[in-house]
Structure 1
């Protein structure tokens, strides 16, 4: 009987270690949203749009500057953007001079949504809100 309890305890400890290890944040990449001061609502990234600037990664960071209308248009494909995999996110309000004035709490931008229509890369987009809503932007 003692052995059964010991093995059960060892098994429980093993499961807890696996859960802890699986939840360690090992991502090196960070997506940083620069949000205009006072912006509330939805931001949408429109992917695979010819003639627009790509999203560039520098020093393991992709900085996404959100214009006042909330529409970010890029030539980067959704597939290429998603290749970064699991990543950290940060968001900051910027003043009119482009300086970071306040970090936005993660609770204000936690529900992002990828979408694509008829497998058309030009329709691919990612939408996220910066107003703390619990549902998705559409």
Structure 2
């Protein structure tokens, strides 16, 4: 098999398909992992899977805008919004998209205020211990 591959001209644009043919791989498996550089003519491995994103740039903007306006938006709400516009996505896709945009999921936006009951309890405790001697 390697002798057949060595005989193939590396500048040939169908090199990946020929490797698939000789190696009995299905589809464009090897062609997706080999990319010919136009400048040097050498082949280099491709780090990504070459699969496009399932969310369009417009969808990413819509997700980012929605979450920025209302941080309490759930992933299910975003999935339903995108489904209405014709894009089928999953909750993990939404989470990954938000993380790529710098919006981390499950992060507290502010410290919650104390309820009036807790404020009264703290004041009561402070008044009771107002005259306690200081300890070093």
Please report the TM-score for the alignment, with normalisation by the length of structure 1: 0.25
Please report the TM-score for the alignment, with normalisation by the length of structure 2: 0.25
More strand by share: 1
Higher relative contact order (CA 8 A, sep 6+): 1
Radius of gyration: which is bigger?
Answer: 2
